[in-house]
Amino acid sequence: MTKSVRVRFAPSPTGFPHVGNIRTALFNWLYARHTGGVFIVRIEDTDVARKVEGALEAILGGLRWLGLDWDEGPEVGGNYGPYFQSQRLDLYRQAAERLVAQGDAYYCYCSPERLKAMREEQARRKESLGYDRHCRCLSDAERRQREAEGITPVVRFKMPLEGQTGFTDVIWGEVAVENSTLDDYVLLKSDGYPTYHLANVVDDHFMEISHVLRAEEWLSSVPRHKLLYQALGFEMPLLAHLPMILGPDRSKLSKRHGAVSITEYREQGYLPEAMVNFLALLGWSLDDKTDILRRDELIKSFSLERISKTAAVFNHEKLRWLNGVYLREMSQEELLPEIMPFLERRLPPAVKRPISEEYVARILPLIRERINTLAEAATYADFFFLDELEYEASLLVGKKMTAGGTLRALKAAREKLASLESFDHDFLEGALRPLAEGLGLKAGQLFGVLRVATTGRTAAPPLFETMMVLGKETCLKRLEAAIAKLAEI
């Protein structure tokens, strides 16, 4: 019988969750949901010095935002808790003591000063860096003496000095390293906290983790872990190390490549569904052509076999495009409440708050085809909200027109529009097309001038619909302002 799937996402609250962390979470979640297994969140908070305030909340908030619900872990509990490593210190200490008793680990009393000097010497001699095993063969008397001096030791793993350690990774295949390249790494620190290696192995065992899906950067830790599993008599889970994520310039994805924290994507108006789709394709694919895969389809088709070894490239334009696809799939009713907070937050300060939802409901159909993120609504549609538009007067001058001709056209249009009893689409069109003709202009020339006058820009939603939403009064005021502006040049 195959073991039931239990996978975990094991973030350290040492920073805000970036795209790489969340991709790991997503792959674990997808695998659990695909197999009907259990998705666990375990907080690896043993590095007290590097703990970042607010990071835990950001991690859990990011998961929740993306709809990556966990079956066991913080807030939800479970039968394998506690799910914070800082609350499991006894387990790690017991494991370390057992290893010492068995002869697989030893106490090391070396002072930080000695270790520093040792490293400097190694660097000077261009030797490989690593603990020189000074305390590995202390006699009982030497050990007692150090204890009597009140030195609190660390516990180090006793690496085999010869041979190889090999393992199989679902994605990377057979990997083997010479034991002589591995040093006697620390298992338990002098403050009683475990290192990542010890805590990770102990927890994966006691939480009955079946598969470890995590970033490629941990691949080199596996030989250490494997020897530790063996020494403790634990069975090792299956391993799948996910490929790196690179920026467009093929260097490791970092802050330099723009927003990388998941919180920032949320703030920039990316949709969770688009994000999930995009992140799933960073290292996994269904085939070589399918880009749009919704959550259900991802759950249905996710498999470890289709995870690639090749580093994934983070293509920001693709994310924007995908986001636009998901945005346009939303109904007006779904989109409206999502977009309101972005307008509230991002429209220029000059715009009066609160923003009217009713008004936005009229604008939305005009802009939704033209924006890719929720935040873009504020930059694309700000002219709907502003009292005064700021733009260069020269922008007003129509194609193949002079400033004088443009001024005449604007005055005539103002006259005409002021006389209209309705500002409906057909009324506007019925009035403005003949007006262009009367002025000896192409309709496009006149409409271009009016577009700039009413919106302050050359690219905007369809003119008549825009004017309808702005209303007669605002349009006339803006024509007035445009006329004044133009008169200055």
The residues that are catalytic are: 255
Q: Is 282 within 8 Å of 314 (Cβ atoms)?
A: yes
Give how far Cα 391 sits from Cα of 383, 396, 439, 470, 475, Å.
11, 9, 25, 18, 16
Question: According to the binding rule CB under 6 A, does residue 19 interact with ligand GLU?
Answer: no
Structure tokens at 414: 């103002």
Candidate ranges 5-13, 32-40, 230-238, 276-284; the one touching ligand GLU (CB under 6 A): 5-13
Q: Which of 5, 6, 11, 347 binds ligand GLU (CB under 6 A)?
A: 11
Question: According to the binding rule CB under 6 A, does residue 210 interact with ligand GLU?
Answer: no
Structure tokens at 460: 């905007």
Least Cβ distance, residue 197 to ligand GLU (angstroms): 9
Least Cβ distance, residue 223 to ligand GLU (angstroms): 14
Least Cβ distance, residue 193 to ligand GLU (angstroms): 14
Q: Which of 5, 6, 7, 10 binds ligand GLU (CB under 6 A)?
A: 10
**What is the footprint of ligand GLU within residues 312-331 (CB under 6 A)?**
none
Least Cβ distance, residue 234 to ligand GLU (angstroms): 15
Least Cβ distance, residue 57 to ligand GLU (angstroms): 16
**What is the footprint of ligand GLU within residues 250-269 (CB under 6 A)?**
none
- Among residues 268, 299, 312, the alpha carbon closest in space to that of 69 is found at 299
Instruction: Name residue, tokens 């079956």.
Output: 71
Give how far Cα 326 sits from Cα of 19, 198, 272, 330, 473, Å.
19, 43, 9, 7, 36
Handedness of CA 379, 384, 389, 394 (dihedral sign): positive
Judged by beta carbon, residue 10 or residue 108, the one nearer ligand GLU is 10
Cβ-proximal residues to 283 (8 Å cutoff; 6+ apart), any chain:
23, 27, 242, 243, 245, 307, 308, 312
Q: Please report the DSSP string for 216-262 in residue order.
A: GGGGGGHHHHHHHHHHHTPPPPEEEEEPPEE-TTSSBP-GGGS--BH
Judged by beta carbon, residue 14 or residue 379, the one nearer ligand GLU is 14
**Please, what is the Cα angle at 262 between 257 and 268, to 5 degrees?**
75
Question: According to the binding rule CB under 6 A, does residue 65 interact with ligand GLU?
Answer: no
- Among residues 107, 105, 22, the alpha carbon closest in space to that of 58 is found at 22
Q: Which of 23, 214, 266, 485 binds ligand GLU (CB under 6 A)?
A: 214
Q: Which of 12, 277, 323, 466 binds ligand GLU (CB under 6 A)?
A: 12
**Please, what is the Cα angle at 280 between 279 and 285, to 5 degrees?**
130
- Among residues 183, 177, 174, 173, the alpha carbon closest in space to that of 164 is found at 177
Least Cβ distance, residue 83 to ligand GLU (angstroms): 13
61 burial type by CB count under 10 A (0-12 exposed, 13-18 middle, 19+ buried): middle
Judged by beta carbon, residue 29 or residue 326, the one nearer ligand GLU is 29
Q: Which of 167, 218, 234, 391 binds ligand GLU (CB under 6 A)?
A: 218
Judged by beta carbon, residue 50 or residue 300, the one nearer ligand GLU is 50
Least Cβ distance, residue 115 to ligand GLU (angstroms): 24
Least Cβ distance, residue 23 to ligand GLU (angstroms): 12
Question: According to the binding rule CB under 6 A, does residue 44 interact with ligand GLU?
Answer: yes
Candidate ranges 8-16, 109-117, 280-288, 427-435; the one touching ligand GLU (CB under 6 A): 8-16
**What is the footprint of ligand GLU within residues 126-145 (CB under 6 A)?**
none
**Please, what is the Cα angle at 26 between 30 and 242, to 5 degrees?**
100
Structure tokens at 170: 């679902």
Judged by beta carbon, residue 200 or residue 406, the one nearer ligand GLU is 200
Size of the site for ligand GLU (CB under 6 A): 7
**387 vs 71: CA distance, rounded Å:** 51
Question: According to the binding rule CB under 6 A, does residue 460 interact with ligand GLU?
Answer: no
Q: Which of 165, 195, 200, 210 binds ligand GLU (CB under 6 A)?
A: 200
Strands ordered across the beta sheet of 154-157: 105-108, 154-157, 186-188
Judged by beta carbon, residue 165 or residue 466, the one nearer ligand GLU is 165
Q: Is 185 within 8 Å of 157 (Cβ atoms)?
A: yes
Judged by beta carbon, residue 242 or residue 271, the one nearer ligand GLU is 242
Judged by beta carbon, residue 47 or residue 329, the one nearer ligand GLU is 47
Residues that bind ligand GLU (CB under 6 A): 10-12, 44, 200, 214, 218
